[in-house]
Structure 1
Amino acid sequence: MISFSSLKALAGQLGLVILNKTPAPPAPQDGTWYQIKAAADVAEGAEAEAGQAIEVYIYGEIGAWGVTANQFIQDLKAVDDGTSPVLVAFNTIGGDLFEGLAIHNALSRLGERCTARVDALAASAGSVAACGAHRLEMASNAMLMIHNPWTWASGDADDFRKVADMLDQTLEAIVASYKRKAPEVDDAELRRLINEETWLTATEAKNLGLCDEVIEGVTVKAMVGDGGALRRYHKAPLALLASLEEAEQPPAAVVPPADEPPATPVPQPNAAALVSRIIKGCADAGISNLVEVLSMSGDLKDEASVDAAIARAKAVRELCVSARLPELAADYVKAGLEPEAVRARLFDKLAGNGFGEIINTPPLDDQPAPTTPKAASPAKVYANRKQARTAKPKAS
């Protein structure tokens, strides 16, 4: 089986992010969507109890729009004494698969002192990460969701074949992660459940061996992520979708005084709708290869900013193509450079490569017009050749 590091390197070469994430970070309701509470985090002057657990809360997306594996590992190292129990609580819609695999492996390295607890939902990459713990507990009202990896890509037929092969390989990594937690699970049945996007209750997960214990349900206040991501799944439970609808209901309107006109509410764009607009806009502009770069921008808050970013990206790419350096377009777009700044950088690169100054001004009016050479007479040419052959050499 291909190693995790090889998979991640191959994905980087193909420019892929294997994911199910949304284009904007979740807005936490209580400010605790990601938190590590160490045994030393006690009141000043108090002493930490021996063996007190280190508690980690991954409440939000996994990856660049939420908690990254590097952030998780570094934060944990900062408080881990090497002996205290570690409890990792999950309430996540998922995210970047490779980030989830990295967290899975980090939890696995903690050994028997690591317990994962699914407080509400561990979906997709979140379920992969949670299964890295030695012990996995689920609240009685929690769910574990498993499904196939997916991504977006652009390119020719060969590029898409590579993407398909890449997704097949990442599926094997997902299967291996679940089977590490549940070695006795039937391989064919597990693959069927993954392929069908299965939402497992705590009891169902325990029957498969993915869960060790079903505990009493808990009340969860923090968000699992943007609702747009949840709606992209084919079989999201209706009860879970209904809870999102309730959360999205606006608060009761405040009636302004009679002398103040009511304020017009500004509709907030849905994250999934913005991603769709980016994909369609890039396709229409002929810059589908820049979809991922634009989607990762944190400045795209509404339709107007998306349209402006697409127009700017198109202008940047056209400049790079004109300079015969199209490979630089993605980096310039990612850096958020304006076309004028890109033009200056391209000029510097061309001048530095020996192209010199580019001059496209017309000739001055006082310059003499170029003359057109006259055709030589064939008879005169032959006469000159004959004369040259019969001429006597001059004395030196």
Structure 2
Amino acid sequence: MTIRKPNARFFAKMPAIDDQFDRPEGFRYEPDQPLAASFKAKSGVAAEGDSPTISLFDFIGDNGFSDARMAAALRTIGADTDVVLEINSPGGDYFQGVAMYNMLARHRGKVTAQIMGVAASAASLVAMAADTVLIPSNGELMIHNAWGITAGNAEDHAQTITTLKHLDQAMAETYAKRAQKEPAEILKLMSKDRGGGTYFRGQQAVDIGLADGLLDVRAESPVYADNSDDISHSLREWDRKLAGKLTKAERRQLFHDLRGMQDAAADAMQDAGILASLQALVATSTSFKGGSL
């Protein structure tokens, strides 16, 4: 996994796994997609108890899924809300992975990690923070030694070796705590193939204790709430009016809540109900969140 170090002559680099998980041609990261706008699955009417879902589907780092994005998602969700973390990532920046691990570990709601494809390197470290880790029979969880490149003299290289061994021990202790094994046993698995590490497929990850159970991929998958700007024409003017008073997420949540108060009718009828509710709201209040409409 990539590591960072203050020394200007130290340059971080993903290990060989980077070559195996190149972004496909035409790949474009969608920054608005990791967190669904209303945080609830839609199956006609969102069922009570549906958990918000964060999708970690990229490299871990500033140019992919960053620690800042994870923090923003968790703040939006709320500390007491259960959350599902979907993972399909080759890993990336070690310290950002550690930050995500600690954010999830301190989250008061239940965290369920679902490894949809691969959780490798720093991504597998993030998964270890979940209360429950689920992996499909064909999914992969991978652990390995930290990697890095040093440019400099013998002392620079020696310092890098010390740093990498320090990180290896820290990772081994995190995995070992989850698997209830000795760190030395985990270090051996991380060090296989000259530090290239070990892949655990599905049941193997469960057997060693890094996952809690197999994910039933045949179960009905939730349809995530729309997180785009595609709101109905009848509501667009109100969306513009509220833009200076509420954030985009708050506006979508308001429309969602008002829609839920209407009868389960056609969308046009629900939109009409929302408009009536908004007009009634304005009629009883000349200000909204500190500013006039």
1:66 pairs with 64, 67, 74, which one? Answer: 64
Is the counterpart of residue 84 in structure 1 residue 78 in structure 2?
no
Shift of 1:96: 0.9
8 Å contact from structure 1 (residues 38, 55) kept in 2: no
SS at match of 1:176: helix
Question: What is the match of residue 121 of structure 1?
Answer: 118
Shift of 1:128: 0.7
Is the counterpart of residue 188 in structure 1 residue 184 in structure 2?
yes
Name the count of aligned residue pairs.
207
Question: What is the match of residue 326 of structure 1?
Answer: none
CA offset digits 1:6-25 (Å, max 9, x no partner): xx8x8224554555275998
Question: What is the match of residue 198 of structure 1?
Answer: 198
CA RMSD of aligned residues (A): 3.0
Say if 1:18 and 1:168 are closer, same or farther in 2 by CA, change over 3 A.
farther
Comparing 91-100 and 19-28, the one that deviates more: 19-28
8 Å contact from structure 2 (residues 56, 89) kept in 1: yes
Question: What is the match of residue 20 of structure 1?
Answer: 14
Distance 1:52 1:100 in 2: 26
SS at match of 2:135: strand
Runs of 5+ unmatched residues, structure 1: 1-7, 220-396
Shift of 1:51: 2.6
Is the counterpart of residue 132 in structure 1 residue 129 in structure 2?
yes
Say if 1:218 and 1:64 are closer, same or farther in 2 by CA, change over 3 A.
farther
User: Given the two structures, how large is their TM-score scaled by the length of structure 2?
Assistant: 0.62
Q: What are the residue-to-residue correspondences of 1:141-220 with 2, within 5 Å?
A: 141-182=138-179, 184-196=180-192, 197-217=197-217
Percent identity, aligned pairs only? 24
SS at match of 2:91: coil
Q: Which amino acid in 2 is paired with 1:216?
A: D
8 Å contact from structure 1 (residues 73, 106) kept in 2: yes
Deviating above 3 A after TM superposition, structure 1's stretches of 4 or more consecutive aligned residues are: 13-19, 21-34, 38-43, 46-50
Structure with higher Rg: it is 1
Distance 2:11 2:93 in 1: 7
Runs of 5+ unmatched residues, structure 2: 220-293
Distance 1:181 1:18 in 2: 27
Question: What is the match of residue 52 of structure 2?
Answer: 54
Question: What is the match of residue 102 of structure 1?
Answer: 99
Shift of 1:52: 2.0
8 Å contact from structure 1 (residues 40, 48) kept in 2: no
Say if 1:198 and 1:154 are closer, same or farther in 2 by CA, change over 3 A.
same
Distance 1:91 1:165 in 2: 31
CA offset digits 1:290-315 (Å, max 9, x no partner): xxxxxxxxxxxxxxxxxxxxxxxxxx
CA offset digits 1:67-123 (Å, max 9, x no partner): 111122113212x13332100000011111111111111111114610111011001
Q: Between the two structures, name the one with larger relative contact order (CA 8 Å, sep ≥ 6).
A: 2
Distance 2:141 2:74 in 1: 24
Q: What are the residue-to-residue correspondences of 1:238-253 with 2, within 5 Å?
A: none
Q: What are the residue-to-residue correspondences of 1:253-268 with 2, within 5 Å?
A: none
